[in-house]
Amino acid sequence: MMFQNQLWIDHGLNLFTPPTSASRTVHVCAFPASRLGLEGVGISPDCNPENRTSSRELLNWALEPAKDHILDKLFELGYLDAAAWANENPVENVVQNDSSSGHSGLLQ
């Protein structure tokens, strides 16, 4: 889909994640994973549920992008979700050294 003169690709609600060489992949979902019954999602609005919009509003914005100021706020909320996840998952517990297999071990 073209949006603001850029090509965007969205995997929607199927959580399709192509295989990577990383030892661990953190799945991200823009919707509250617990309400959708999704498992294995690391970062979602569930990480930081305060002051959230409704799932209906999120779905509407997924189908038709919101105004720029709302997108900025959604970006900020996503950043806070990631920060909450990072506080619960210290880097030394997440990143593994895979140097013997030729990978950097960084999250991808």
Question: 45 near 32, Cβ under 8 Å?
Answer: yes
Backbone angles phi, psi at 35, to 5 degrees: -70, -25
Give percent above pLDDT 90 in the chain.
5
Helix (H) or strand (E) segment spanning residue 80: helix 68-88
Query: Is the whole-model pTM more than 0.85?
Result: no
Token pair of 108 as six digits: 């991808």
21-52 pLDDT per residue, tens? 777 778 888 888 888 787 788 888 888 877 67
**Confidence check: pLDDT of 102 > 90:** no
Question: 27 near 42, Cβ under 8 Å?
Answer: yes
Token pair of 87 as six digits: 């506080």
Question: How many C-beta neighbours within 10 Å does residue 70 have?
Answer: 13
Which sequence spans correspond to the domains of the chain? Answer: 24-92
